[in-house]
A and B are shown apart, each in its own frame.
Chain A
Amino acid sequence: MSETTTTAAATAAPAETASNARQPILSIKHLCKDFKLRGDGLFEKPKVLHALSDVSLDVYEGETLGIIGESGCGKSTLGRCIVQLHRATSGQILYNGQDITGLTGADLKTMRKNIQMIFQDSYSSLDPRFTAARAIEEPLRIYNLVPDKAKREQIVFDLMKEVGLDVQHVERYPHEFSGGQRQRINVARALVLDPKIIVCDEPVSALDVSVQAQVLNLFRRLQRDRGLTYVFISHDLSVIKHISDRIAIMYLGRVVELCPAHRVYENPMHPYTKALLSAVPPESPFQKTEELKLSGEIASPVGDMVGCPLAGRCPFATDRCRTERPSLEEVEPQHHVACFRYHEIAQ
């Protein structure tokens, strides 16, 4: 499939110039998600795990918002809240201005057509008893959009071609595909309903390098051709930087930095972002990275916390960091950071 250079690239232009004027297609406002854990002892009170604490993000049409963080930072929970697999504890998620957190029944079903998701594990997200064709046409059957069998088949064939699958493989089962091909099936299935937003939860982390590159290119091509909006979740900074227009860096259920993609590499401000950058393996054997090391390990998200979530590990932490929580503030145009001392650290 040859790559088409479309003029639609303009819709994917970096959000930094236009986003102020545009209305966000998806707006997350003060989103919190708690999970109740059973207490240790028989009579102990249940504990609360704060997976997301006061997350606010705007996503604009046609852009890719990258979300990065380490395991347990809440990035997957955020993705699952957006597609309503988890119900938010508090806060709002607005799709084109309409709050979707409380939707049920038919309203929820209608909304779901617009927001789709692609999961990390390409194998377990496909029913092992469905062939590729059956999996891709499943959404059409759910909504009974195309009752005609031949037409459905044609739609499936076209989509398989669009995502780079061999049409000869329609009758194969998931285990007979490689990881990359399976992920293409997942993409095709998500595209059948022609959604506006796709939440991608680590879609390439389980893939090999060469296949990962193919799938990343596929995502970008689909975005150009269809004007899709992505919320792209990953733990791999290089991948996120490559695919995203803007990046949100999360730590312990909070957004600590939000900036245009290239800024994360050129001018990271939050100590955690810096630590992440310096931990990325080198690009050549000759590269020696200056490392900013964080001490210890990620704190537990269970129970209430005061102060900056990074305070316990940050080499720059002061008493203020331990008692007061920094809020996410716009310190440069389009560049938000939640740190009291970012300007001192920058030097």
Chain B
Amino acid sequence: MAEHTSQTHGALSVEAQIEMVKRERRANSAWHKLSRNKMAVVGLVIVAIMVFMAVFAPLISPQDPNYVDMTKAFLPPGAEGHVFGTDNYGRDLLSRIIYGARISIFVAVGGTVFGAVAGVLIGLVAGFFGGIVDSVIMRIADGLMSFPFVLLALILMTILGQGTFNVILAIGIGNVPYFARLVRGQVHIVKNEEYCNAERVLGASPARILFTHILPNAISPIIVYFTLNVASAIISEAALSFLGMGIQPPTASWGNILSGGRTCLRTSPHIATVSGIFILLTVLGFNLLGDGIRDVFDPKQKQ
């Protein structure tokens, strides 16, 4: 009785089929799919440029962002070697934008990471154990979510006091309920999959099932939400700084550059415009990238 799946014939041989699987893997790999999505590539390029700017700020910035030269205040873009002009203290706007990228992206990513880590843990616990634990956690999350995000962040900033780290904390805490709810939903879906039952029958502990099976299989929407959320965190940071509760001058962030530009919008519109455009581009970049990643993970688009 030949039960074995071995084959030796021409085009239908095992080798040919293995080759086919390899081709399929390449075609369906996340990277390959993402690179076929033009808008996602645009998003990726924008994000890459911004991150590059932030990381290598000291190397590429033409001037110290805090160097004040009152004689050169309010120069328009292009004048005297200042590509984007200067602000009300005569500081080089390009340098401030480059250093601002550092702060803005750091705060946005940091806040989102904080929110994601805390939210994922809370969501996992709520989703996996269910019952009373789940109800209590979710009601608290509902309560937090009933505040508009910026209002919640403002309240937190008032309580925590000013400082870069506190901005991160405020944005992070504001994000926790959203991540928690997303993860809880995912856990509810995955934990009823048959392979989790199979794992229980094999004798695995709840913690093992949670971290080796449920979390890895629930991760794709979390990554998508994370990327999209960085975009909104950039806006949140800008909004907080704009309202004077975020990053404090003289440290440059896109939000406080925009805020500073507001006072002289009539006479020197370039300050608000340039910082606004950078915020817009970065938000757009993260959103396009997030949408692209979502398409990659969407099983319905497998072809």
Residues of A within 8 A of B (CB): 1-3, 83-85, 108-109, 112-113, 116-117, 119, 121, 124-129, 138-139, 142-143, 164-166, 168, 172, 176, 181, 186, 189, 193, 214, 217-218, 221
Contact = CB atoms under 8 A, between A and B. Distances in A.
Interface string B63-89: 000000000000000000000000000
A117 B4 CA distance: 23
B3 A85 contact: no
B21 A139 contact: no
B14 A142 contact: no
A126 B195 contact: yes
A143 B199 CA distance: 12
Given A129-B216, A172-B21, A217-B3, A109 B201 contact: no
Contacts of A129: 216-217
A113 B4 contact: no
Interface string B185-197: 0000000011101
B72 to A, nearest CB: 58
A116 B200 CA distance: 10
B194 A121 contact: yes
* Top 10 A-B pairs, shortest CB-CB distance: A3-B1, A112-B203, A124-B194, A125-B194, A109-B203, A164-B3, A127-B195, A1-B4, A117-B201, A125-B198
A3 B3 CA distance: 8
Interface of B: 1-6, 14, 18, 21, 24-25, 193-195, 197-204, 208, 213, 216-217
Contacts of B14: 166, 168
B216 A138 contact: no
13 contacts: A83-B201, A84-B201, A112-B203, A116-B201, A125-B194, A125-B197, A128-B217, A138-B199, A139-B202, A172-B21, A176-B21, A217-B3, A218-B3
Given A3-B1, A168-B14, A143 B203 contact: yes
Contacts of A143: 203
Contacts of B4: 1, 164, 166
Nearest to A123: B194
Contacts of A2: 1-2
A2 B4 CA distance: 8
Nearest to A122: B194
The interface residues of chain B, by DSSP majority, are classed as: helix
A221 B2 CA distance: 13
B6 A166 contact: yes
B130 to A, nearest CB: 15
Contacts of A127: 195, 199, 213, 217
Contacts of B216: 129
Contacts of B18: 168
Contacts, number: 77
A171 to B, nearest CB: 10
B1 A217 contact: yes
Contacts of B201: 83-85, 112, 116-117
Contacts of B194: 119, 121, 124-125
Contact of A193 (B1, B200, B202, B208): B202
Contact of B3 (A116, A139, A172, A214): A214
Given A116-B202, A125-B198, 18 more contacts: A2-B2, A84-B201, A85-B200, A112-B201, A112-B202, A117-B201, A119-B198, A124-B195, A125-B195, A127-B213, A127-B217, A129-B217, A138-B199, A142-B204, A166-B4, A166-B6, A186-B198, A189-B198
Nearest to B200: A85
Nearest to A83: B201
Given A165-B5, A166-B14, A217-B3, A119 B197 contact: yes
A33 to B, nearest CB: 16
B195 to A, nearest CB: 5
A221 B4 CA distance: 13
A112 B203 CA distance: 6
Contacts of A142: 202-204, 208
Q: Which of B197, B200, B203, B204 has the most CB of A within 10 A?
A: B203
Contacts of A112: 201-203
Contacts of A126: 195, 198
A121 B195 CA distance: 10
A137 to B, nearest CB: 11
A187 B164 CA distance: 56
Given A124-B193, A128-B217, A142-B208, A113 B5 contact: no
Nearest to B198: A125
A108 B202 CA distance: 11
A139 B203 CA distance: 8
A237 to B, nearest CB: 24
A108 B201 CA distance: 10
Contacts of A139: 202-203
A102 B1 CA distance: 44
The residue among A85, A138, A164 with the most chain B CB atoms within 10 A of its own CB is A138
Nearest to B20: A176
A217 B1 CA distance: 9
The winner among B21, B198, B203 for most chain A CB atoms within 10 A is: B198
Contacts of B2: 1-2
Nearest to A140: B202
Contacts of A3: 1, 3
Contacts of A214: 3
A159 B193 CA distance: 25
A117 B197 CA distance: 10
A207 B289 CA distance: 40
B206 to A, nearest CB: 11
A5 to B, nearest CB: 10
Nearest to B25: A176
Contact of B198 (A84, A117, A165): A117
Nearest to A126: B195
Nearest to B21: A176
Contacts of B25: 176
Contact of B202 (A168, A176, A189): A189
